[in-house]
Amino acid sequence: MNRLYEKYIKTESLPTLFCPGCGNGIIQYAAIEAFERLGIAEDIACVSGIGCSSWIPCYYKLDVMHTMHGRAIAFAEGLKLARPEKKIVVFTGDGDCVAIGGNHLVHAAARNIDLTVIMVNNYIYGMTGGQKSPTTPKGARTKTSPFGCIDQPIDSCKLVTSLGASYVARWTTAHPVQLEKAIADGISHKGFSFIEVLSQCPVQAGKNVYGEKEPSKIMEGYKKGTYIYKPQAGALTGDIPAPQDGKIPIGLLHYDPDASEYLQRVEERLKAEGVR
Amino acid sequence: MAEITIDKACCKGCNICLTACPKKIFVKSKKRNNYGTAMPDVKDPENCVGCRMCERLCPDGAIDVKGDRNQ
Amino acid sequence: MERDSNTKTQVVLQGNEACAKGAVYAGCRFFAGYPITPSTEIIEMLSGEMQKAGGAFIQMEDEIGSACAIIGARWGGSKAMTATSGPGYTLMQEAIGFAAVTETPIVIVNVQRGGPSTGQPTLSSQQDIYQARYGSHGDYGIIVLAPSSVQEMYDFTVKAFDLAEQFRGPVILLADEVVGHMREKIEIFSGDRRVSSPKKKYAISPSTDFFKGANTLVEGQLHDEMGRRIGHMADKSGAFIEKITRKIEDNVDMIADVTTYCMEDADVAIVAWGSVARPSLNAVKKARGIKDDRILPKFRVVRDLVKRGVRETMHTDYSHLKVGLIKINTVWPFPEELLQQAAENVDTVIVPEMNIGKYCREIQRALPDKKVVPLPKCGGNIHTPKELLDKILEEVGVDE
């Protein structure tokens, strides 16, 4: 077994419930690498909702809250407000975060509250057996879009950027090194950090959504179907880049280290009003 | 020389490591993991460059690389 | 409620404000909420008071988020509360179930309004009595307190926090628009309240707060004492459900609180909970010829009644009625034994409720040999003492 697993994972709970080749395990490992690199595991708590990706933190030897469908961010906000000095990492999926939890995502991003949200986007509801999600591409045939998905997929990175999230990155499971760095940076950043990870669900989405069902080929597809955004100096505070030649931009898409964070604003107001 | 181990209690046989390794150290084998599916075998570990992509991309933490050039 | 040596002051407060003050005194240091009539004064007051007390406040995007945020904050180590009404309480049901299954001590205030749906936002009701007990899906135990005065809004809020911590679970303060919006002179305390930590452990889930090195796993699935899921094991799951229900239901003697008035020689009892206990008490006093010094100045009552189209005439002679009052303060778990003891010597029990007649079923079940007469009243108006006494007259008859 991997030595970091032995340090950070409740090995008695293994194997994980993820299907063979699921991207969640890769993200699980990238996050523990980030915790290891930061060296502050005792100051980190994880919160997750419902869905396959929300099982990621349940195996960690950390304080973990496995909560209700869509509400992870709301739970995390309460926890953060109670313990402002700690770092809260939210693991969520595309359905959990953007569909049922959309309202909490919208408001947490607008508050720019210091949370790190890792959204695993596999374009499908995997746990329930392969139904369309808010990010399912147009035309994809799923269990609940048998004639092809007709809804415009939601670009969650664009959504949170437009609202005021101050660290927005997108990576894929085929970029584990960059993903680990993004998670570490997101945790270090004081503000709402949103990291979308394009992941694979070889079992429930497979050919219908990615055109491939072999995990390694889906990941190969992610490498080919994306381009790494290289901004010009100072260009990270604006809108996020658009797809080019049908390729999705990945990388650090938006970063505003000076954006005022929610808890800082609260403290400032309380000081200004003489309450504290 | 790197010592690469694959934990058959963790491996689910997804074969991601076969393509993840730039040196193609992992090969298909007839060995079975605890779930009864075929798990990879390690061939020519002396070719390992210590990039750790296999560790990072293994979704089940089954692979551990010891004694590579980074250690 | 135990009154300690902290400074006592007398103030005139609205019920909702008293609830907010009680929360701060009880040690609540986190409030998340969403404005909704008729509970809004609680969030309004705590938006300032909570932070002045060194706690945190957030106005969430909805009631679901509010209920979730207080659970999150409680695991961060802060006692936490939210307050809502009607539709907002319905939205919180899933989180209440989550708090029950994870055994998270939280307090949720439901200032009831008329339903269903948007219903009657500005008028009172007691329609949520069963939702308070059975609102979330699945089986669990829950403690529900029903205040009937502004003082009780304060006292029961404090008590709710104590019970939540002791029995590890959500506690509902089931108020209504009448007690929420009325103003009375009450006694409140200042300073820090001394709370001793519960001796016996009632939680079977992990119960160490976060960031204490315990690697606590808070899990919404059925789980063992480590937080690991047991849902695939039928026997363990069944035992878990029984435990989280029975830790409340089997300890009803420690939780139950019933107040009686003039029951020593009573033939007929009014069993009331929440604000309906007020006209019930008045009815008892009127029948017994006890002068009431607690009710508001007369002109105010008359004006209100005239405005509501009620003509209060008390010409009927009720003096032969030996009426008593049994006021149930802890509506859930149902205080069956205390009720049976209190009603031992009466033949007839009148159960006035501002709903279609719900809690009376529970009372009939507990008192199978008594004549239990429901007196439901829907529409937003509280019963008048005359209505209660007329009903008693109708049921008991004029035998002398």
The enclosing domain of A120 has a CATH number of 3.40.50.970
* Cα of A215 to nearest chain B Cα, Å: 6
Q: How confident is the model at residue C297 (pLDDT cuts 50, 70, 90)?
A: very low
Q: d(Cα A226, Cα A16) in Å, to the nearest integer?
A: 29
Interchain proximity A4–B61, CB inside 8 Å: yes
C239 token code pair? 């035992």
Residues in chain A: 276
φ and ψ of A68, to 5 deg: -95, 160
- Backbone phi, then psi, for A79, in 5-degree steps? -65, -40
Residue B58 CA: distances (Å) to CA of A210, B20, B35, B67, C129: 20, 9, 16, 19, 53
CA C19 to CA A113: how far, in whole Å? 29
The answer to whether the CB of C170 falls within 8 A of the CB of C96 is yes
Other Cβ atoms closer than 10 A to A254? 26
CB-neighbour burial class of residue C269 (10 A; exposed 0-12, middle 13-18, buried 19+)? buried
φ/ψ of A198, rounded to 5, equals -75, 120
Mean pLDDT along residues C342-358: 96
User: So what's the pLDDT on residue A136?
Assistant: 96
Mark yes or no for CB contact A71/C95 under 8 Å. yes
Check the CA dihedral C20-C124-C32-C27 and report its sign.
positive
Are the C-beta atoms of C323 and C347 separated by less than 8 Å?
A: no
How confident is the model over A116-136, as a mean pLDDT?
96
Distance CA C186, CA C20 (A): 14
C147: pLDDT strictly greater than 80 = yes
Is any Cβ of chain A less than 8 angstroms from the Cβ of C218?
Answer: yes
* Angle in degrees, 0-180, between the axes of helices A72-82 and A102-111, rounded to the nearest 10: 40
The nearest alpha carbon in chain A to B51 belongs to A177
B59/A21 Cβ within 8 A: yes
Give the span between the Cα atoms of C280 and C383, in whole angstroms: 8
Q: Are strands A44-48 and A63-66 parallel, antiparallel or unpaired?
A: parallel
Provide the pLDDT confidence category of residue C319 given band limits of 50, 70 and 90. Answer: confident
DSSP track, A9-29:
B-GGGPSPSPPTT-THHHHHH
C61, A107 Cβ separation under 8 angstroms: yes
Q: Are A125 and A53 in contact (CB under 8 A)?
A: no
| Average model confidence (pLDDT) across chain C | 92
DSSP at A250: E
Chain A adjacent subunits, 3+ CB pairs under 8 A:
B, C
Residue B35: the pLDDT is: 87
Mean pLDDT of C195-211: 89
CA distance A260 to A262: 7
Compare CB distances from A215 to B16, B62, B64 and report the shortest one's residue: B16
Average pLDDT, integer, range A84-101? 97
Q: Of C57, C61, C92, which to mutate for an interface test with A (greatest number of A Cβ within 10 Å)?
A: C61
Phi, psi of C153 (to 5 degrees): -60, -40
Q: Which of B9, B37, B60 is closest, CB to CB, to A25? A: B60
In terms of C-beta density within 10 A (0-12 exposed, 13-18 middle, 19 or more buried), how is residue C364 classed? middle
In chain C, residues under CATH classification 3.40.50.920 are: 258-396
- Over 70: is that where the pLDDT of C299 sits? no
Domain ranges of chain B: 3-66
User: What band does C400 get if pLDDT is binned at 50, 70 and 90?
Assistant: very low
Q: What pLDDT, on the 0 to 100 scale, is given for residue C224?
A: 95
Polymer length in residues for chain C = 400
Task: Pick C306 or C318 by higher pLDDT.
Answer: C318
> Is A108 buried (19+), middle (13-18) or exposed (0-12) by CB count in 10 A?
buried
Q: Name the pairing type of β-strands B41-42 and B26-27.
A: antiparallel
The first and second tokens of residue A247, run together, are 């390729």
Query: Do the Cβ atoms of C243 and C202 come closer than 8 Å?
Result: no
Interchain CB contact of C353 with A (< 8 Å)? no
Q: What is the residue type of C172?
A: I
H or E segment to which residue C237 belongs: helix C234-249
| pLDDT-based confidence at residue C399 (cuts at 50, 70, 90) | low
Output the pLDDT for position C197. 78
Asked if the C-beta of A114 comes within 8 angstroms of chain B's C-beta atoms, the answer is no
Please give the CATH number for the structural domain made up of B3-66.
Answer: 3.30.70.20
Q: How far is the alpha carbon of A175 from chain B, nearest alpha carbon, in Å? A: 9
pLDDT tens digits, one per residue of A12-61: 988 899 999 999 999 999 999 999 999 999 999 999 999 999 999 999 99
pLDDT at C195: 79
Contact A107 C65 (CB under 8 A): yes
Mutate one of C47, C75, C205, C212 to test the A interface: name it (highest A CB count within 10 A): C75
Question: What's residue C127's pLDDT?
Answer: 97
What is the average per-residue pLDDT within A138-149? 95
Structure tokens at C142: 């829950």
Asked if C217 and A42 come within 8 Å (Cβ–Cβ), the reply is no
**Residue C57 pLDDT class (50, 70, 90 cuts):** very high
Q: In Å, how far is A156's CA from the nearest CA of chain C?
A: 19
Q: Do A262 and A113 touch, CB atoms closer than 8 A? A: yes
Mean per-residue pLDDT for C248-269? Answer: 95
Instruction: Please answer whether residues C261 and C281 qualify as being in contact, where contact means their C-beta atoms are separated by less than 8 angstroms.
Output: yes
Residues of A in contact with B21 (CB under 8 A): none
> CB neighbours (10 Å) of residue A106?
17
Question: What is the pLDDT at residue C190?
Answer: 85
Q: Are C247 and C254 in contact (CB under 8 A)?
A: no
Domain that includes residue A125, residue range: 3-272
Query: Cβ(A199)–Cβ(A172) under 8 Å?
Result: yes
What share of chain C in percent tops pLDDT 90? Answer: 85
C-alpha distances out from residue A170 to A12, A58, A227, Å: 32, 23, 11
With contact defined as 3+ CB pairs under 8 Å, the chains touching C are: A
Lowest mean pLDDT among A201-210, A213-222, A234-243: A234-243
Q: What does residue C217 show for φ and ψ, rounded to 5 degrees?
A: -110, 110
Domain with CATH 3.40.50.970 in chain C: 8-189
C31 in A contact zone (CB under 8 Å): no
Tell me the per-residue pLDDT of C327-345, one tens digit each, with 9 for 90 and over: 999 999 999 999 999 999 9
Q: For residue C4, name the pLDDT band (cuts at 50, 70, 90).
A: low
* pLDDT tier for residue C295 given thresholds of 50, 70 and 90: very low
pLDDT number for residue C291: 72
The pLDDT, as a whole number, for residue C212 is 96
| Min Cα–Cα distance to chain B from A19, Å | 8
pLDDT band, residue C364 (cuts 50/70/90): very high
Minimum-distance CB partner of A2 among B13, B15, B61: B61
What's residue C78's pLDDT?
97
Specify the number of domains making up chain A.
1
pLDDT band at B2 (very low <50, low <70, confident <90, very high): confident
Class in CATH terms, C8-189: alpha beta
Peptide bond into A215 cis (omega under 30): no
- Mean pLDDT score of chain A: 95
The CATH architecture assigned to C258-396 reads: 3-Layer(aba) Sandwich (3.40)
Q: Confidence band (pLDDT; 50, 70, 90) for A236?
A: confident
Q: Which of B4, B7, B14, B53 to mutate to test the interface with A (most CBs of A within 10 A)?
A: B14
Taking 90 as the threshold, does the pLDDT of residue C301 lie above it? no
DSSP string, A63-80: EEEE--TT-HHHHHHHHH
